[in-house]
Structure 1
Amino acid sequence: MKRYSYLLMLFLGLSMFSGCEDTLDIDPTTGVDIEEAITDEVSLNRAALGTYSALQDFDYYGLRYLLYQDVYADNMQHRGTFTTDVEVSTRDIKASNLQLASTWAGIYTTINRANIVIRGAEQLDNIEEETRNRYIAEMRFIRALAHFDLLRVFGGVPVITSPTTTIPEIQNVARSSEAEVYNAVIADLLFAEENLGNAISNAPYRASSLAATALLARVYLQQGNNAAAEASANTVIESGQFELLENFSDLWVREGNAESIFELNFTPYDANGLGSASDPRTGGQKFYLRQAFFDEFAASAAEGDLRFEQTTRFEGNRNRLLKYEDVSENADNVPIIRLAEMYLIRAEARARQGAALAPADPQVISDINMIRRRAGLTPVVVLTNAQALQEILEQRRFEFVGEGMRFMDLKRYNLTCERLGFCEADGEDFRNLWPIPLQQIEVNPELDQNPGY
């Protein structure tokens, strides 16, 4: 019974809804009762903030899920003694990895909190219908982000769209197919896009309609729906609501800046572990840039790439990541979606729709050069679509290291065999997906393991 009770509490995360009080000037809510807490818009809003807090968990965007996307790929590596981190860094994850179990549980906690708020909003009879739909849309945005984050590393997963409150509810949910998860994610985002608007203040710290459109662009691109990805990215760019910062370094010192579409706001009272994680002067487990990537980045710097010195530094015999430098308070913000990604999504999606050896569309070249110019690199002039795609992949690597993109990118480009050794001929292609945590399979007979594990 101890095992079941522990997993239940880890999965549900129902007893504490801690709000982002410094971000939104609202006191944190604790001890929220899932049946009685949401009684009006004030309590609805406080519960909604608790869902954002779940995104900030150390097992999610507060540290490990975020950095693991680079650590499992070819940008970063772990240095330390934790077996859980070592397995990710060496790309030899075991189904018994407790960190993956915590990450799985943390992401489903986020989903469950969103579902609780959705149900609360649906049951309230003392708010305007527009307000109700706005809160539901906000939570469906977060639920979509969480389901998509599970999808890109685990493949098909259980899609949960109602509050989970008991052990039997956890034990009997089967995995959906990847296509079904995509459908659920897209449906949530389309609803959010239509109903969110920009009425909730504190953007980019709360979801907006354009944040939903931007996330749709990311999802469509990964799904292979290039026309839809291009259209969504174009909508965000042409909205005029965001702009590339002139200096790349400002992204990491100007919180909530004009380039940020959706951003998690951390404070000394609601901290993450990112700053300390790449500072060799502090204790604990560390995550540094891999030497091969550091060298490639340095080569780009020799051609004028200003991002190198603003992203990394050789310190204490380690290649440190500088995007998150706050080691005193660990309160660096985490940009989840920013405008630079939209330019590169629009360029990639359009290039993928053309013949490989045909000249790239002028818009593709223009979008690539938006990123290159800001980085201090000479603009490209003429590229084929195939060359443009390679250029986009390289720019994404330098632009977004430490922001949770690399593993997804390598999978989309079908490069995990070449870059990571996940080759079918060697029987290693199963590593393109992480194992479903053994702890979840033990308590849920409806879950089946990914092949190879």
Structure 2
Amino acid sequence: MKANKIFLLVLTLGLSLNACQDQLELKPAQSIADTQASANESNVKAVLIGAYDAMAEGDLFGGNTLRNAELQAGDDEILWVGTFFDPREIFNKTMQTANRDATELWLDGYNAINIANNVLAFLPVVAEKDRKTVEGEAEFIRALVYFELVRFFGKPYVAGQTNSQLGVPLITEPTRGIDEKSQVARSTVEQVYAAVIADLIKAEANLPQTNSWRASSLAATALLARVYLQQGDYAKARDAANKVISSGKFALLADYADNFNRDANSSEDIFAVQVTDQDGINNMNTFFSIPDFGARDGDIEILDGHLNLYPTGDVRKDLFFDGAGAMRTGKWNNQFGNIGLIRLAEMYLIRAEGNARLNASVGATPLADYNTIRKRAGLAEATAVTIDQILLERRLELAHEGFRIHDLKRTKQAVGKFNYDADKLVFPIPFREIEVNKALEQNPGY
């Protein structure tokens, strides 16, 4: 499902009939007229399923946002050897304004946002007993997408600054026609982060703690922890992570490898994109794995620069394997496996880092949380821990899951020869969007 230009979206209430056909019949299949949606609660709920489906597109959370975060930061740890030109540009930091992956991220992102906006616009027709949950899910999806867009298309958020650098356009009402109001300028990074946090705080209040595979209040809390960490707000990040851990609703799996290649969520999954052999895309499999597991030809190789980071006895290293002539990560060998976006181990590491930076021990000491992750990895308990050790543990635990470039930026580390805030580490605003919307300003360096 591909939209045209985001500013040419005309009531894009995109639905996947594979996901929804057992719930309703729609005419036409990919949209709902205003009157139909406003008159029918079941249609609004189906549109919400469509928002999940749009969020799971391959160019969004169906894999490419995770892949691109690894490619941008890869350098001496991974190598792109695939034939596709656009990911190669991302890996080499030579992106052009017509880069297809950047364009599709923008289009798919705003398509999902527009669907969420439509759900929120029609909340009054939803029964009161379900209204808060429907609202919270739409707010969660919108926040998740905006957070990803601003991290790729805007310069990094810097704690203690006004962050007036340009982010992405904030659109919170449905786009149903083309007029002067469609020409929306970019909001600042500060404004986008504020909108993301506001949505997540509301979602946290509106959602139940458990909600099957869908967004829950604890998923919103966990995403808040990630957002606050990216801002350098260590107290709020720690407290949100502590709330998730202390809820008792999630548990670390005994075997690290069991987190991956799953057809269903585990006790460690806080939020995951659902993929089946009938519906959904797992582009992490497509690009990180090999043909033996339904992937391409082995587009991404794992280099010794990464493998040598693991200490002797670390079971996480056992997931790597030699396939199709190079080393590969075994995290993505299920072609139809779910794509885990937030898992409990990340919360332990956020709480550890927050406490360590603040010389505190809310929920647990930094050392205790650090050792919780190390023990699961088969390593001996440490007797002391530094922030650098916690960051290394995060690097190993969350490797090839879409964190690397964002962690380098928030900790102000160089990416190869580039400074953390270099122009070439920010995606260009797609050329087609600049052409149709004269209010948009291009990023420096493009």
State the TM-score, normalized to the length of structure 1.
Answer: 0.86
Q: Structure 1, residues 274-332: CA drift from partner, whole Å, max 9, x if none?
A: 323233336747442441444324x43xx11111122x212121222221212xxx211
Deviation at 1:393, TM superposition (A): 1.8
Q: Whole-Å Cα distance in 1 between the matches of residues 377 and 22 of structure 2? A: 36
Letter of the 2:435 counterpart: E
Pair 1:11–1:347, CA change in 2 (3 A):
farther
Deviation at 1:11, TM superposition (A): 5.5
Pair 1:283–1:395, CA change in 2 (3 A):
closer
Pair 1:25–1:35, CA change in 2 (3 A):
closer
Pair 1:221–1:60, CA change in 2 (3 A):
same
Partner of 1:111: 113
1:432 aligns with 2:443: no
Deviation at 1:248, TM superposition (A): 0.7
Partner of 1:449: 442
Partner of 2:185: 174
Q: Whole-Å Cα distance in 2 between the matches of residues 374 and 19 of structure 1? A: 41
Pair 1:410–1:92, CA change in 2 (3 A):
same
Q: For structure 1, which runs of at least 5 residues remain unmatched after alignment?
A: none
Mapping of residues 44-443 of structure 1, within 5 Å: 44-74=44-74, 75-122=77-124, 124=125, 127-128=127-128, 130-155=129-154, 156-168=167-179, 171-198=182-209, 201-202=211-212, 205-254=213-262, 255-272=264-281, 273-281=283-291, 284=296, 286-297=298-309, 299-300=310-311, 303-310=312-319, 312-326=320-334, 330-354=335-359, 363-383=365-385, 388-415=386-413, 417=414, 419-423=415-419, 429-443=422-436
User: Which fold has the larger relative contact order, with Cα–Cα distance below 8 Å and residues 6 or more apart in sequence?
Assistant: 2
Deviation at 1:9, TM superposition (A): 8.5
Q: Whole-Å Cα distance in 2 between the matches of residues 349 and 361 of structure 1? A: 11
Q: Whole-Å Cα distance in 2 between the matches of residues 241 and 283 of structure 1? A: 34
Letter of the 1:174 counterpart: A
Q: Whole-Å Cα distance in 1 between the matches of residues 347 and 13 of structure 2? A: 37
Q: Whole-Å Cα distance in 2 between the matches of residues 360 and 293 of structure 1? A: 35
Q: Is the 8 A contact 1:11 1:106 kept in 2?
A: no
Deviation at 1:33, TM superposition (A): 1.2
Q: Whole-Å Cα distance in 1 between the matches of residues 300 and 82 of structure 2? A: 11
Deviation at 1:168, TM superposition (A): 3.3
Q: Structure 1, residues 245-294: CA drift from partner, whole Å, max 9, x if none?
A: 11111112552111111111100111313323233336747442441444
Q: Whole-Å Cα distance in 2 between the matches of residues 283 and 252 of structure 1? A: 16
Pair 1:71–1:13, CA change in 2 (3 A):
farther
Q: Secondary structure at the match of 1:304?
A: coil
Q: Structure 1, residues 218-255: CA drift from partner, whole Å, max 9, x if none?
A: 00110111111111111001111111011111112552
How many residues matched? 423
Q: For structure 2, which runs of at least 5 residues remain unmatched after alignment?
A: 155-166
Q: Structure 1, residues 352-401: CA drift from partner, whole Å, max 9, x if none?
A: 2249xxx9997101111111111111221113xxxx22122212222122
Deviation at 1:169, TM superposition (A): 6.1
Deviation at 1:138, TM superposition (A): 0.9
Letter of the 1:215 counterpart: L
Q: Whole-Å Cα distance in 1 between the matches of residues 25 and 252 of structure 2? A: 33
Q: Whole-Å Cα distance in 2 between the matches of residues 431 and 218 of structure 1? A: 24
Q: Secondary structure at the match of 1:236?
A: helix
Deviation at 1:20, TM superposition (A): 6.6
Pair 1:170–1:421, CA change in 2 (3 A):
farther
Deviation at 1:25, TM superposition (A): 7.2
Q: Whole-Å Cα distance in 1 between the matches of residues 339 and 117 of structure 2? A: 24
Deviation at 1:15, TM superposition (A): 5.9
Letter of the 1:140 counterpart: E
Q: Secondary structure at the match of 2:5?
A: helix
Q: Whole-Å Cα distance in 1 between the matches of residues 235 and 301 of structure 2? A: 34
Q: Whole-Å Cα distance in 1 between the matches of residues 373 and 57 of structure 2? A: 31
Q: Secondary structure at the match of 1:94?
A: coil
Q: Is the 8 A contact 1:13 1:109 kept in 2?
A: no
Letter of the 1:147 counterpart: Y
Identical-pair percentage: 36
- The two structures, once aligned, show a CA RMSD in angstroms of 2.7
State the TM-score, normalized to the length of structure 2.
Answer: 0.88
Q: Whole-Å Cα distance in 1 between the matches of residues 442 and 121 of structure 2? A: 31
Deviation at 1:216, TM superposition (A): 0.4
